[in-house]
A = this chain, B = another copy of it.
Amino acid sequence: MILTVISAWRSLLAVAGLSLTVEGLYYLIRYLKRFRERRPPQVLFFPAPVTCVRPLLLSSPGHCNCSRSHRESALSCLTRLLLSARRSLDVCVFTISSVELSSSVLAVHGRGVRVRVITDSDYMALAGSQVGAFRRAGIEVRHDQDANYMHHKFAVIDGLILITGSLNWSAQGIFGNKENVIIIKSTDVVKEFIEEFERLWNEYDPSNYSFSPKS
């Protein structure tokens, strides 16, 4: 009798143990999956050392003999990230005058990736702005049309990676100012920025522009 009870108890324990194990493994796999997705954002601080990123922009591996340093920097990290776009590149920045970053955007566009740019109407007209070069290359650029600023400084790569922060995409921003950039892969956050981009892209549709007083 006692032996039977012990035997039954052992069987019950084995079944319970195994089912809990399966459950544990399920959560472990889920944990690892979400943990990977939710790994902490990467942070870049500026000013970056003045480095040359020209070799990164060449269509085939090459090198540059200029006197600037060619080592890794916050700028080369940002350049590599932009150049990694394969399907889409949505740029939503207050100002874009950095030769390095605008060259990256143009290179991505040149590879046939869909590039869209939203910027600020006041700053796009300043000397050094690369908006003209973008338009000449066939990149669609849209902008606000009021006195307030389109002050975002973010980009979304392939709908998967968000670059955002305080950094204006200018030489002063990159090489002079104290700035930060955060690179986020969390789908929840990226989704919110994609929605913001689409909202502004529609709001700034040229058909809505009304610079001239309505008759």
Contacts and interface: CB of A to CB of B under 8 A. Distances in A.
Interface string A163-183: 011111000110011111010
A129 interface: no
B13 A17 contact: yes
B148 A47 contact: yes
Interface string A111-155: 000000000000000000000000000000000100111111110
A165 to B, nearest CB: 7
A149 B172 contact: yes
Contact of A178 (B144, B182, B184): B144
A92 B43 CA distance: 16
A151 B178 contact: yes
Interface in A11-55: 11, 13-14, 16-18, 20-21, 23-25, 27-28, 30-31, 34-35, 38-41, 43, 45, 47
Nearest to A21: B20
Interface stretch (A70-78, A96-104, A185-193): A185-193
Contact of A14 (B14, B23, B151, B166): B14
Given A152-B166, A164-B166, A186 B41 contact: yes
Contacts of A186: 40-41
